Amino acid sequence: MRWCEAPGAWIGLEVLQNYGCRMISGLWLTIELVLISFTLGLVIGLALALLRLNGPRPLAMLITGYMTFFRGTPLLGQLFLIYYGLGSFRLFWQDVGLWWLFREPYYCCLLAFTANTAAYQAEIFRGAFLALPRGQTEAAEALGLNRIATYWTVLLPQAMITALRPLGNELIVMIKASALASLVTLFDLMGATKLAFARSFDLNIYLVAALLYLGLVEIIRRIWDAMERRLTRHLVLH
């Protein structure tokens, strides 16, 4: 017996014993999808927020449009638009050498998730920067710091305190939203669960999946609490 079959055998749930290994690899795929897209989204989101606040007007408007689109439409639709929609221009992608990306549901998922979370994270960062008192920028200027140093050493650390909570919420939203990957043939945790249910008709497997998702969310919540304590250790909050 492999180790991933053990929990099912131990609690005497046949469907979990039979599909335990698939569930574990599904869980891993879920974590992988979320971690990659969230991290990419963090970098892109921060860049978008800074460009929207400081960039030239046409670029700022373009970014506003991007953010409105991705925050105003469902992720499911964005995923289908990329996987089926963009994926239908096969000849074009082959010409530009990007067919490998639009052919694979895995990459389409990563693309859709990243584009979506980048828009939400950009809004979080924008709000956090706008909430900072103007005096912070002026003081940095008076000290002779250039723009990059102002952002990196003065504004960003303070903005992160405001942004941390909503970023954690966004990560949790992404964990839950990653279940949509199962709708474009991927066997993430949700996909593995659906497969197990379709073959066994045992509803308990859905409850197992719910517990696994809850566990993931709980872990994130604890990590975030620890990070918040560290970021605010110079403030008297507790």
Give the DSSP letter of residue 178: G
- CB-side neighbour CA atoms (13 Å) of 125: 24
Give the DSSP letter of residue 234: T
Coil, strand or helix at 202: coil
Minimum Å distance from CB 180 to other proteins?
7
* Contacting range for other proteins; rule: CB under 8 A; set: 12-20, 54-62, 140-148, 170-178: 170-178
Minimum Å distance from CB 22 to other proteins?
16
Could you say which of 10, 28, 69, 92 contacts other proteins (CB under 8 A)? 69
Q: Does 141 bind other proteins (CB under 8 A)?
A: no
Q: What is the residue type of 172?
A: I
CA distances in angstroms from 118 to 30, 112, 210, listed in the order given: 18, 10, 26
Do residues 193 and 212 make contact, with C-beta atoms less than 8 angstroms apart? no
Could you say which of 218, 222, 223, 225 contacts other proteins (CB under 8 A)? 218
Q: Does 101 bind other proteins (CB under 8 A)?
A: no
Positions that interact with other proteins (CB under 8 A): 68-69, 71-78, 80-81, 84-89, 172, 175-180, 182-183, 190, 193-194, 197, 203, 206-207, 209-210, 213-214, 217-218
